Structure 1
Amino acid sequence: MSKDTSAEDPWHSGGKLHPVLGTRDPQLADAQRVWGEDFEPVDLSELEGADPHLEDVGEQMRRLRDALTGIADSGADLAEAAELLRRAADIVEPQSPDQATRLASQWRKGGPGARRTNPVGGTENVIAPPLRAFGNPDGSVSARITLGLPYQGPPGCVHGGMSALMLDHLFGFANHWVGLRGMTAHYEIDYRKPTPLLEPLDMKAWVESHEGRKIWVRATIESGGELRVEARALFISANVPLPGRDATAPGEER
């Protein structure tokens, strides 16, 4: 069972570099050294699903996505599958509200619906891997995932745009974990080595510094003990107007 450090953790009271660990490149081992070997990260991604059937539909669609990628030359007979999918679409489509209505509904009660449909971590989004992020008491967030053929760019490698997308997603969690929020204003990324498909990828992101509305964050992707990608971004603290509502300054009541 994880130790609840939210009350004593300085990360939750201002978003500054962690004074105990004193590092801008925090590692899980550092957190375990301070908080104990039995430390387990806190899952930031998991949300209660709105509908278990919708969660299941998303999972089955991802199975199809993975199975269909690269199948063209296999000789598979897909006629029955196409007909079943056509029937499924005929059932769901008439019940689905227009996109403007769905957009507004996603942002009710703090926006859990939007998180469930996020293109990186959303369990209800077919294109999402989906990625699960974990918050560590050293102030960093981490994730581990193995990507398959749908995310291929160079031969046998993860598409560079997918790497950038996943790290931008983790940047948001890194801000959230230390009590900050903002929008990406500047993003720089270095691809150090090819990032392989079909192998575990370890990702990490953390807030490097915070001054006024400016939040600097860093992130890395490693595989096989080697650095594959590193990125740095500037976030600007600001609220985006929700559908049907006006923007407010950070901390202002809506």
Structure 2
Amino acid sequence: MVEVSTPVRWALRLAAVAYVFFLVAWPVALVVRQTFSNGLDNLIEAFQDPHVVNALELTLMVAFWAVVINTLFGVTISILLVRYEFPGKRLLSALIDVPLSVSPVVVGLALLLVYNGRDGWFGPTLEANGLQVIFDTPGMIMATCFVALPLVIREVVPTLTEVGDDQEQAARSLGANARQTFWRITLPSIKWAVIYGVVLSLARSLGEFGAVKIVSGNVTGRTQTATLMVEAKYQNFQQGTAYATSFLLILVSIACLVVVAVLRPKHP
């Protein structure tokens, strides 16, 4: 291990703190400052605007279902990747990282081409059976699920690998079935990884913009989420409401992180 002198260590620490400050802390602080530049007027105005309230409710609903879906499939895929060997395993692992490398706008366009009701691959058939995907809630949930998919998996897979399967094998040897083994052995050992994945997935889902804008149609009062509302209000010279809506989104994400940090048990 290479020894680093004290001045170099302090210089590296200062550089890291400055990087985080100018990239994250300062911009977020400016949003908070602008939100409360007129006291609580901006927040009151935002909550009195029915379109803003509708956008916040829609955002929470889409994020909730996206997190639920990604958690269920994320844990399942994680167990599949760690505990089993099958053809195409490496390909599946690589595909999971696609949402991290592909622009959300491209994701939205791809969903539009597949599920568009006029000339999409599946859209006309689905709409003929009473299910509209594009320009409606299902498409928004699908787009949000796609962009947040890797977050749960990439938290759970390393933990599953680290804990191994010795306890699971012991439980099975004592007569436990798959369901009992999962609920009593596997899930307790990965619960904090799942919780962190859920928090990251929630934060990502709340802030999604590009993919949702493509598939939602951005219809005010119907398919306009909070992030789309921020853009609309800012462009319409209603910056106070835009800052207030942004602050509410930031507040939810930070609150989730704080709750997890407080509840997580402290190891000696």
TM tier relative to shorter chain: under 0.3
Larger Rg: 2
TM-score (norm 1): 0.24
**Higher helix fraction: Structure 1 or Structure 2?**
2
TM-score (norm 2): 0.23
Question: Which fold has the larger relative contact order, with Cα–Cα distance below 8 Å and residues 6 or more apart in sequence?
Answer: 2
Structure having the larger proportion of residues in strand: 1
